[in-house]
Chain A
Amino acid sequence: MTPVAPTATRPTRPPGKLVIQIDGVTKFYKMGEETIRALRGVALQIRRNEYLAIMGPSGSGKSTLMNMLGCLDTPTDGHYDFNGKNVAHMVDDELAEIRNHEIGFVFQTFNLLPRSNALHNVELPLIYAGLPRHERLERARQALTDVGLGDRMHHRPNELSGGQRQRVAIARALVTRPSIILADEPTGNLDSKTGVEIMDLFEQLYEQGNTIIVVTHEEDIARHARRIVRLRDGLIESDEPVA
């Protein structure tokens, strides 16, 4: 398995201002007759410059919490402030705006557009942001160079390895200069060696000043973060710094 990085030598950046503040968040789903209580009252604060891992077995509410944090979903009840804005009751298009400007998603399955090259994939969120073409291309090229793919810009996803695809996805997450990067099992579809490379990239990004949230069920991956939040049965079981 992935060797755990020696924590002693890792720099920890001082936490900045509050980005995410959730309080008393619940999420209930109706599944036929049954009501599923995916989150049963969660409170969490995440500051700028944090590197956080959210852990938990399946059914713990981990995915629901991630969707909530990523503004893909709104809570049934409770408060959610993102950069001081109350997002708990926002409608679709307002949430889309927040996702576009404030959140960079990295998915387990990469989720790249298969028929577009790396450059266009990275450019995509900037189209939705309404940036002019020359600026989009400039920033997309820079982001791809930053993740070490400066020479793969015109390759399509099927011409790239798994690790390279995830790098494209990370470049796409970075290109809008979001407040947080939200990675859902980012190494789940990669072999362990490539997984380590991707986690090294996250480490670099953290040290460069990005705020990162990784959702995972792998202890080894979680230990790359500086803080681990553990969920069980829709509640936070523990929230502690990584020793």
Chain B
Amino acid sequence: MRRLIYELIESVRIAAAQIRANKMRSALTALGVIIGIVAVTLMGTAIKGIDAGVDRSMAGFGDDILYVSKWPWHGVEDWWNYRNRRPIKHEYGPQINAWIAANPNSALKLAVPTGQRNTTIIRGEYRVNNIYTLGTTSDYARITRSDLKEGRFFSDFEGQAGSNVAVIGFDVADALFPNESPLGQTVRIRDQNFQVIGVVAKQGSFLGLFSWDSMIAMPLSTYRRYYRVGEGGELRVQVDNKRMAEAKEELQGLMRRIRGLGPEQRDDFEINEQGTIREQLDPIKNGIAMAGLFITGLALFVGAIGIMNITYVSVKERTKEIGTRKALGARRRTILLQFLVEAVAICFVGGVAGLALAAGLTSLVTVIAPSFPLVFSTGLVVVGLTVSVLTGIFSGFAPAWAASKLDPVVALRYE
């Protein structure tokens, strides 16, 4: 055991000397590994980035919200089974809140009815299309995670009175009021004037997911004055996020009672949660992972062949040295270890260089395109280094094995 450690130290020492002596050759050989590691880390960065992007987009909505809707968020093939479901009525909101008040142990906290559709908002010359327009009660301010950049959310009074007031997202504000504060100004929605009373702080969005940045909110009673709620009706129910599953079950039971469903009848509503949106991104993440894996695999394979080749060259060049070492008592294991360590060392150096390059590229992307989410992590460093070491073992083994099997007599005679 002790002997193995000494041999290992000696191998590392030889490998270091060898790389120092053949800098150019080692660098060129490591290039394949560098590319492979850059590919693997950027792929990991992108996948992690998608998660981070979703988190950022969703941050304003809170991860403790269940959405009671007519349609499930995930795509369904049997749409005809959903089409005839009854709309979600806003009256359910107060009913659920009454249940919550009566059951202090409930996992549910607060239900807020909403209506939503896409509208166009106009201010003088400026106009923005397809803005997610939310009608809701003043309670919404209590369940949202977003902060206001300026102004305020509408009050209970404004909610009940059906005032024409609006809270707008950052991007909407930016588009309509490029160089001034929107507060107290008027925007037109469906030929109606709305007074802007609040602007939500910037969140950033990702892959076109909903984000508060491109939204507008108005009191539900106002919304209902101008739009038929019908299909767009929804309830947002804040729950205890430590009891998510329990809350979902409770809400389901409650909704069935409100809807008056018999035990044999199926649910005619859907309880959605943010996780569904995440799941919908899985195919994208898998796609990136597959493509990345392919590129990485290819690059590493080419890199491995380069290293295998250079290790064969190294064995050939040092045949006489191998003979000498064997004459001095180096066993097969010793020689095997020596060349294996050398191949691994080149890969390891390549791996470190690749990681450094990937880290550099990541920060460059972050500077150039801040909205593009890339996340570099320690996990990736560990993966990158492990992959490079494994590549070294894979590519170095055959030549190292050949070296260990050399006949000392033949090796010593080699010139």
Give A residues with C-beta under 8 Å from B: 67, 70, 72-73, 92-93, 96-97, 99-101, 105, 107, 111, 113, 115-116, 124-125, 127-133, 172, 176
Q: Are A96 and B324 in contact (CB under 8 A)?
A: no
Q: Are B331 and A105 in contact (CB under 8 A)?
A: no
**Interface: B175 (CB within 8 A):** no
Name the interface residues of B72-98: CB closer than 8 Å to any CB of A: none
In the bound complex, residues from chain A placing their C-beta under 8 Å from that of B63 are none
CB distance from B407 to the nearest CB of A (A): 8
Query: How many A-B contacts at CB < 8 Å in the complex?
Result: 71
Instruction: Give A182's nearest chain B residue, CB to CB.
Output: B327
Inter-chain CA distance A92–B405, complex, in Å, is 9
Q: A72-B327, A97-B331, A124-B328 are in contact. Are A130 and B409 (CB under 8 A)?
A: no
CB distance from B342 to the nearest CB of A (A): 13
Q: Are B327 and A70 in contact (CB under 8 A)?
A: yes
**Interface: B2 (CB within 8 A):** yes
CB distance from B333 to the nearest CB of A (A): 8
Instruction: Give A173's nearest chain B residue, CB to CB.
Output: B328
Name the interface residues of B284-328: CB closer than 8 Å to any CB of A: 320-321, 323-328
Q: Are B328 and A72 in contact (CB under 8 A)?
A: no
Inter-chain CA distance A96–B329, complex, in Å, is 5
Inter-chain CA distance A124–B328, complex, in Å, is 8
Name the interface residues of B325-367: CB closer than 8 Å to any CB of A: 325-334
Q: A70-B327, A97-B329, A127-B10 are in contact. Are A115 and B21 (CB under 8 A)?
A: yes
A–B complex contacts, Cβ < 8 Å, 7 sampled: A92-B332, A97-B329, A107-B324, A115-B17, A125-B329, A131-B6, A132-B2
CB distance from B135 to the nearest CB of A (A): 79
Q: Are A93 and B328 in contact (CB under 8 A)?
A: no
Choice from B6, B407, B412 contacting A107 with Cβ under 8 Å: B412
Choice from A67, A107, A128 contacting B7 with Cβ under 8 Å: A128
In the bound complex, residues from chain B placing their C-beta under 8 Å from that of A97 are 329, 331
Inter-chain CA distance A52–B330, complex, in Å, is 27
Q: Are A111 and B332 in contact (CB under 8 A)?
A: no
In the bound complex, residues from chain B placing their C-beta under 8 Å from that of A124 are 10, 325, 328
Q: A107-B324, A107-B412 are in contact. Are A100 and B329 (CB under 8 A)?
A: yes
- 7 more CB-based (< 8 A) A-B contacts, given A96-B331, A97-B331, A128-B328: A67-B409, A92-B331, A107-B324, A111-B320, A111-B323, A124-B10, A133-B6
Inter-chain CA distance A68–B70, complex, in Å, is 90
Instruction: Give B415's nearest chain A residue, CB to CB.
Output: A109
Q: Are B328 and A105 in contact (CB under 8 A)?
A: yes
Q: Are B328 and A130 in contact (CB under 8 A)?
A: no
Q: Are B332 and A99 in contact (CB under 8 A)?
A: no
Q: A99-B327, A105-B327 are in contact. Are A128 and B334 (CB under 8 A)?
A: yes
Interface centre among B7, B324, B334 (most CB of A within 10 A): B324
Q: A115-B21, A129-B329, A130-B6 are in contact. Are A72 and B408 (CB under 8 A)?
A: yes
Interface secondary structure of B, over-half rule: helix
Q: A107-B412, A111-B320 are in contact. Are A96 and B326 (CB under 8 A)?
A: yes
Q: Are A128 and B329 in contact (CB under 8 A)?
A: yes
Instruction: Give B324's nearest chain A residue, CB to CB.
Output: A111
Total B residues in contact with A, Cβ cutoff 8 Å:
25
Inter-chain CA distance A130–B334, complex, in Å, is 12
**Interface: B190 (CB within 8 A):** no
In the bound complex, residues from chain A placing their C-beta under 8 Å from that of B6 are 127, 130-131, 133
In the bound complex, residues from chain A placing their C-beta under 8 Å from that of B332 are 92-93, 96
**Interface: B266 (CB within 8 A):** no
Q: Are A100 and B321 in contact (CB under 8 A)?
A: no
Choice from A67, A99, A133 contacting B328 with Cβ under 8 Å: A99
In the bound complex, residues from chain B placing their C-beta under 8 Å from that of A127 are 6-7, 10
In the bound complex, residues from chain B placing their C-beta under 8 Å from that of A70 are 327
Q: Are A93 and B409 in contact (CB under 8 A)?
A: no
Inter-chain CA distance A97–B331, complex, in Å, is 8
Inter-chain CA distance A92–B335, complex, in Å, is 12
**Interface: B3 (CB within 8 A):** yes
Inter-chain CA distance A172–B10, complex, in Å, is 16
Inter-chain CA distance A128–B409, complex, in Å, is 19
In the bound complex, residues from chain A placing their C-beta under 8 Å from that of B328 are 99-100, 105, 124-125, 128, 172
Instruction: Give A110's nearest chain B residue, CB to CB.
Output: B324
Instruction: Give A136's nearest chain B residue, CB to CB.
Output: B6
For B1-21 the 0/1 string (1 means CB < 8 A from A) is 011001100100000010001
Name the interface residues of B197-215: CB closer than 8 Å to any CB of A: none
Inter-chain CA distance A132–B412, complex, in Å, is 28
Inter-chain CA distance A133–B9, complex, in Å, is 11
In the bound complex, residues from chain A placing their C-beta under 8 Å from that of B409 are 67, 72-73
Q: Are A101 and B329 in contact (CB under 8 A)?
A: yes
Q: A107-B324, A107-B412, A115-B21 are in contact. Are A128 and B331 (CB under 8 A)?
A: yes
Choice from B2, B7, B10, B412 contacting A72 with Cβ under 8 Å: B412
In the bound complex, residues from chain A placing their C-beta under 8 Å from that of B3 are 128-130
Inter-chain CA distance A133–B324, complex, in Å, is 21
Instruction: Give A93's nearest chain B residue, CB to CB.
Output: B331
Instruction: Give A129's nearest chain B residue, CB to CB.
Output: B329
Q: Are B330 and A96 in contact (CB under 8 A)?
A: yes
Inter-chain CA distance A113–B21, complex, in Å, is 13
Instruction: Give B3's nearest chain A residue, CB to CB.
Output: A130
Instruction: Give B1's nearest chain A residue, CB to CB.
Output: A130
In the bound complex, residues from chain B placing their C-beta under 8 Å from that of A111 are 320-321, 323-324, 327, 412
In the bound complex, residues from chain B placing their C-beta under 8 Å from that of A176 are 329
